Structure 1
Amino acid sequence: MPIIPEQISAHVLIWATALFILKQLVADFVLQTSWMARGKEQQSRWLFPLAAHVTIHALTTLAICLLLSPSLAWLALVDLLVHAAIDRSKSLIQIRLQFKPDQSGYWWMLGLDQTLHHATHLVFAITLASASTAP
């Protein structure tokens, strides 16, 4: 089990969690274009749409880090890589299993995708809160 310091900033943890929840909504649903959403799920020519999508995520993570703990700005690169891995893995599974929106498997995959992103953000929020109370 990861070690979480006994004393972390509740203030930063709450703000970071709220900002990452909002970030996920905005970056994954408001700012993601159909070109990104459809393109990243193709068998070929998926790299540029995926790169554009995860760059938005990385930039919004960067903004949160700069606001709460600038020394952790490198988390933006981690977000870019982790988000890309989650999204591409989901796409490959959906391509292989041919899930469509009228099938429950499609929605299970979307739910798993979102849960993994939120779990990543929880780790980021704890990291930011821990850094705020480090000696």
Structure 2
Amino acid sequence: MPEYVGSVLLLLCLFQIKHMFADFYMQTPKMLSGRGEYMHMGRAQHAAVHALGSILVLVWFGAPTAFILTLCALEWVVHFNIDYCKARFSEVKKLTPTMGMFWCAMGTDQALHHLTYLAMVWAWVEYVAT
């Protein structure tokens, strides 16, 4: 087994913890309002919180600056758009937490975010760890 497997698991774990805090504990009223509007400053700020958290994790892992900035800029774009799609879908369908489709939208949103972290870990293995 390659020696960096422990680092891969730790990196993925830290991204998961970062996601929990950024997606659930650090949302402000501005980030939560007007989510169905595409050019929404609150969503941009929310995606920035995620990107900044990832920057901290990747700096701790000693990744090169250009790699960190590129990867986290991509994360910002992906996160922004995943959240927009979920918000817009939920708004159009008038979903509330009492509806099963609300939870399908929430689960899809979260799965896409976590798949993003798998892609980020893959990039770290491909371009930094080896």
Specify the TM-score bucket, using the shorter chain as the normaliser.
0.7 to 0.9
1:36 match? 31
How many matched pairs? 127
Kindly indicate whether residue 33 of structure 2 is the aligned counterpart of residue 21 of structure 1.
no
- Unaligned 5+ residue runs, structure 1? 1-5
Q: Does 1:70 align with 2:63?
A: yes
CA distance in 2, matches of 1:53, 1:133: 29
Task: Give deviations 1:106-131, integer Å, cap 9, x for gaps.
Answer: 11101110010001001111221333
Judge conservation of contact 1:54–1:83 (CA < 8 Å) in 2: yes
Find 1:61's aligned residue among 51, 54, 59: 54
Deviations 1:87-115 (A, max 9, x none): 00111111111111111111110111001
| Partners of 1:42 and 1:82 in 2: CA distance | 16
* Residues 25-51 of structure 1: CA deviation (Å, up to 9, x unaligned): 010001112321233x2448x611111
Q: Secondary structure at the match of 2:23?
A: helix
Higher relative contact order, structure no. (Cα contacts within 8 Å, ≥ 6 residues apart): 1
Contact 1:12 1:129 (C-alpha < 8 Å) held by counterparts = no
Q: Quick one: distance in 1 between partners of 2:96 and 2:111? A: 20
Q: Which runs of at least 4 in structure 1 moved beyond 6 Å after TM superposition?
A: none
Q: Which moved more, 1:68-77 or 1:102-111?
A: 68-77
d(CA) in 1 for partners of 2:36, 2:108: 19
Within-5 A mapping of 1:95-114? 95-114=91-110
Percent pairwise identity: 24
Gaps of 5+ in 2: none
